[in-house]
Amino acid sequence: MMFDKLCIIGAGLIGGSVASAARKRRLCAQIVALGRQEDQENLQRAKQLGIVDAFCFDVGKAVQNADYIVIATPVGAIETVLSDLKMHWSATAVYTDTGSTKGSVILAAKKVFGELPANFVPAHPIAGSENSGVDAADADLFQNKRLIITPQPNNSLQALAAVQQFWELLGASVASMQADHHDAVLAATSHIPHILAFCLVEMLGKKDEQIEIFQYAAGGFKDFTRIASSDPTMWRDICLANSEEIIPLLEEMQEQLGGVVRMLENRDSRQLFELFTYANQARQRFLDQIEN
């Protein structure tokens, strides 16, 4: 076994999947979840499903003798979590997170500790689902998925190696990236698509004929808006944490949509065709890269 005690802070979809995957691959002897009183039902469900051995609401008890700690809360809660962990911080344990933004996580750590602790390695699994809660946990969620580590200059080589090996054993393909570059890439490929899906469903949901709109929605609508079923708390925190990267992209998207409006007003079939053709070919290049 790689670790004696794994502590999961936040036993939702990602945290539950980390625990379930670690258990399936026998990476630790004991798994404990830390949560809040209001999460008791979800934590009890995690224990009932055998995903964790125990759960508690006291941070000191949860991390006692833990040698690997994964923070899997919404990014907006990470500063509070780190503050709670501070007095129980172990120099011999390895800490990591699963947040979808990395700049905000690193900033939170520096606010709490003065600098990023050497044994805290920021990470982000590029995996997920529109479903939430421990019932959505999947032991194979990270299989053949990308995992991005955003190492900092003061990270210990031992902690970096441990985090990389852990995620590789969960089936992920691990890569390193600068935190600001990570946030820029994820804003474009993940955060903007989620915002667009939320906005479209919100717009249509407020129309008087909403029942008929959703009744006749075809597969394309369901495919595009699937991610609007994602956890609102998590996505609120992600958008606020990465607003500096998201806002310019939204402004660019506004210009793009304004251009489409003008094409339609001008009955400009050529430009519409060129836009759709370019997008069609660009997506095919993306699919070809994935296959290769």
pLDDT band at 278 (very low <50, low <70, confident <90, very high): very high
Residue 1: its pLDDT value, please?
65
Q: Is residue 208 scored above 70 in pLDDT?
A: no
Mean pLDDT over 245-260 rounds to 97
Judging by DSSP bridges, how do beta strands 94-97 and 68-71 pair with one another? parallel
Q: Could you write out the three-class secondary structure of 6-63? A: EEEECCCHHHHHHHHHHHHCCCEEEEEEECCHHHHHHHHHHHHCCCCCEEECCHHHHH
Q: Is residue 273 scored above 70 in pLDDT?
A: yes
Computed over every residue of the chain, the mean pLDDT equals: 93
Mean pLDDT over 192-212 rounds to 85
* Domain regions of the chain by residue span: 3-177, 182-291
- Four-way CATH pick for 182-291: 3.40.50.620, 2.60.40.10, 3.40.50.1820, 1.10.3660.10: 1.10.3660.10
The percent of residues in the chain predicted with pLDDT above 90, rounded, is 79
Q: Is residue 204 scored above 90 in pLDDT?
A: no
With b meaning 16 or more CB within 10 Å and e meaning fewer, what string describes 258-292? eeeeebeeeeeeeeeeeeeeeeeeeeeeeeeeeee
CATH code given to domain 3-177: 3.40.50.720
Residue 217: its pLDDT value, please?
72
Q: Is residue 178 scored above 80 in pLDDT?
A: yes
Mean pLDDT over 11-40 rounds to 93
Mean pLDDT over 8-37 rounds to 94
Residue 88: its pLDDT value, please?
96
Residue 14: its pLDDT value, please?
94
Residue 237: its pLDDT value, please?
95
Q: What is the pLDDT of residues 48-75, one digit of tens each?
A: 999 999 999 999 999 999 999 999 999 9
Q: Is residue 107 scored above 70 in pLDDT?
A: yes
Burial of 206 (0-12, 13-18, 19+ CB in 10 A): exposed
pLDDT band at 209 (very low <50, low <70, confident <90, very high): low
Count of CB atoms within 10 A of residue 7's CB? 28
Q: Is residue 265 scored above 70 in pLDDT?
A: yes
Q: What are phi and psi of 96, to 5 degrees?
A: -150, 175
Q: Is residue 238 scored above 90 in pLDDT?
A: yes
Residue 213: its pLDDT value, please?
75
pTM: 0.89
| CA neighbor of 113 nearest in space, from 163, 152, 168 | 152
Q: Is residue 129 scored above 80 in pLDDT?
A: no
Highest-scoring range by mean pLDDT, 121-130, 176-185, 213-222: 176-185
